[in-house]
Amino acid sequence: MATDLTIEPFCLGAWQTNCYVVHAGRDCWVIDAGFDPGPMLDYLSQHGLTPSKVVLTHAHVDHIAGLSDVRVAYPDVPILIHEDERGWLGDPTLNLSIALAEPLTAPPATGVMRHGDELQLSGLAFEVRHTPGHSPGGVTLYQPDHHVALVGDALFAGSVGRVDFPTSDPATLIRSIQEQLYTLPDDTRVLPGHMEETTIGREKATNPYVRA
Binding site for Zn ion (CB under 5 A): 60, 62, 153, 193
Minimum distance from residue 159 beta carbon to Zn ion (Å): 12
In the complex with Zn ion, which residue's Cβ is closer, 37 or 193? 193
Minimum distance from residue 31 beta carbon to Zn ion (Å): 12
Nearest position to Zn ion, beta carbon? 60
Q: Can you tell me the distance from the alpha carbon of 170 to that of 20, in angstroms, rounded to the nearest whole number?
A: 26
In the complex with Zn ion, which residue's Cβ is closer, 2 or 195? 195
In the complex with Zn ion, which residue's Cβ is closer, 63 or 146? 63
In the complex with Zn ion, which residue's Cβ is closer, 124 or 136? 136
Residues forming a β-bridge with 125: 120
Q: Can you tell me the distance from the alpha carbon of 206 to that of 100, in angstroms, rounded to the nearest whole number?
A: 35
Number of helices (H), then strands (E), belonging to the chain: the values are 5, 14
Judged on CB neighbours under 10 Å (0-12, 13-18, 19+), 99 is exposed
Judged on CB neighbours under 10 Å (0-12, 13-18, 19+), 163 is middle
Minimum distance from residue 63 beta carbon to Zn ion (Å): 6
In the complex with Zn ion, which residue's Cβ is closer, 127 or 153? 153
Minimum distance from residue 87 beta carbon to Zn ion (Å): 16
Pairing outcome for strands 189-192 and 159-160? unpaired
In the complex with Zn ion, which residue's Cβ is closer, 27 or 85? 85
Minimum distance from residue 17 beta carbon to Zn ion (Å): 5
Q: Can you tell me the distance from the alpha carbon of 19 to that of 37, in angstroms, rounded to the nearest whole number?
A: 9
Q: Edge-to-edge, what's the strand order for the sheet holding 111-113?
A: 6-12, 17-24, 27-31, 51-55, 79-82, 111-113
Minimum distance from residue 58 beta carbon to Zn ion (Å): 6
